[in-house]
Amino acid sequence: MSEKLPRNIAVSVGLLSLAGQIAWAVENQFYNDFIDEALVSLGAPTLVPLAITLMVNITTTVGTIAAIIMGSYSDVKGKRKPLLLYGFIFWAITTAIFPLSAFFGFIGVYFVIFIAILFDSIMTFFGSTTLNAGFNAYVTDVTTLKNRSKAMSIAQITTLAALLIVYGALGILIEVIGYYNFFIFVGFLTGLIGLLGVYKTKEPQELEPMNITVIEHIKNTFEKKSTVDYKNFFLVLIVICSWQIALNIMFPYLIIYLKYTMGSRTSALIILFIALLVAIILSYPLGKITNKLGRKKMTLISTLLFSLGLFLVGICQSLIPLLISGIFAFVFYTALSIATFTWVKDLYPPEGRGQFSGYWNLFSGTIPMIIGPIIGGFLVSIFGTLRVEEIGRTVLVPPDMIFYAAALFALITLIPLIFAKEIKTE
């Protein structure tokens, strides 16, 4: 198996991942911040945790259903490119229309929440079809055990680069052009970069159509035990699920917390920008270290240090300490992503990579994004502080407790990790 990652694959992986991750970064953070701003302006700050929890829970469920069904459809048809092509077109459009949800404020605050969840769910369907099903299956199709961690390093670099672009250049644009124009611009950027990536993509040669239906394919997958070590596959998924729950306890409230702690959205974005930049610089070396140490050992080290980083963010209240602890947390979040996402792809069966990308999404997205925000939302509702700002608005400030809870939960990852086994690349 070749250890070198072909240039055309590296380019297509980079472009497709960057486009998708820009859209996800906006959805994961700025949808929540937009809802916070909308509900505060309507005089309902105490509804923010409920709105965010519901939005994250419902949309992530939609995402997993889309990934499993559309991933299975991709397997059956023997094609990845149509999912990527049409997915990016509709993903861009549905990203741009999200802020229209705030136009319904005259009907009532609960209707605004309903429309926001509906728009986010439609966007998530196309996003999950494109990235979670199409892209993840494509990466597994065109890589080997030897070079997969390099492809995942590129994907992780683009994930962080997307966060850097969104939190840095695009995030600051909100103050200049407003949220409505911001979402239109993000939709256009997602579509443009995504379609460039699709243009650079070629269908994997080994893929062939199956003479079965999507439902039959989903049922058949679990009968082909000769090609899948199901016990180990699900153990690795539980490893991923555990640290992702920890991440999602605090992540939906990260910008909101930093915005109110530092006094402005700009200060919050500066902290995130620098932390992400350092993580990007270290991403490729982390991928090489993952190959050298192995998936399991890298996951162990990264889990312990990621937990420590989350704890440090919680105890820091000023710019420099927050910046240092933020860098620490993001670097080992990156290491965890590379190690575990590479590991689980090693275990995908050749005949079901699209479908198994859906199961990956269930454990890396849906379950964590249901449990994590419920825990975080509960802590914000109970321990958050209502504060009247100078301009007279009443806001709900998330407590630092969300980071302590996340740090503690991250350590649960160690339990399934003990029993999980990796495939040797030698």
Note down the domain range covering 179: 7-419
- Any residues with CB less than 8 A from the CB of 206 and at least 6 apart, and which? 141, 350
Residue 112 placed within a domain: yes
- CATH number (domain holding residue 163): 1.20.1250.20
The answer to whether residue 182 scores a pLDDT higher than 80 is yes
State the CB neighbour count (10 A cutoff) for residue 182. Answer: 22
Residue 314 lies in a domain: yes
- Residue 426 within a domain: no
- Within a domain: residue 425? no
Question: What's residue 1's pLDDT?
Answer: 41
- CA–CA distance, 19 with 369 (Å, rounded to integer): 22
The answer to the question of residue 1 being in a domain is no
* Domain annotation covers residue 114: yes
Is 206 contained in some domain?
A: yes
Q: What pLDDT digit, counting tens, does each position of 328-384 carry?
A: 998 999 899 889 988 888 887 766 666 676 777 788 878 998 899 899 989 998 998
Query: How far, CA to CA in Å, does 382 sit from each of 46, 73, 250, 341, 379?
Result: 10, 44, 15, 34, 5
For the question of whether the overall pTM of this predicted structure is more than 0.75, the answer is no
Closest residue by Cα to residue 23 from 116, 131, 102, 133? 131
Lookup: tokens for 135: 């892209």
- Find the mean pLDDT for residues 138-142: 82
Q: Domain total for the chain?
A: 1
Q: Are 194 and 12 in contact (CB under 8 A)?
A: no
What is the per-residue pLDDT across 370-412, written as a single tens digit (0 to 9) for each?
899 899 989 998 998 888 776 667 888 889 999 999 999 999 9
Instruction: Report whether pLDDT(226) > 50.
Output: no
Q: Determine which helix (DSSP H) or strand (DSSP E) holds 93, and give its type and residue range.
A: helix 81-96
Report whether 240 contacts 344 (CB < 8 A): yes
Range of lowest pLDDT (147-151, 190-194, 249-253):
147-151
Q: Would you say residue 424 lies in a domain? A: no
Mean per-residue pLDDT for 245-271?
85
Number of H helices, E strands in the chain: 18, 2
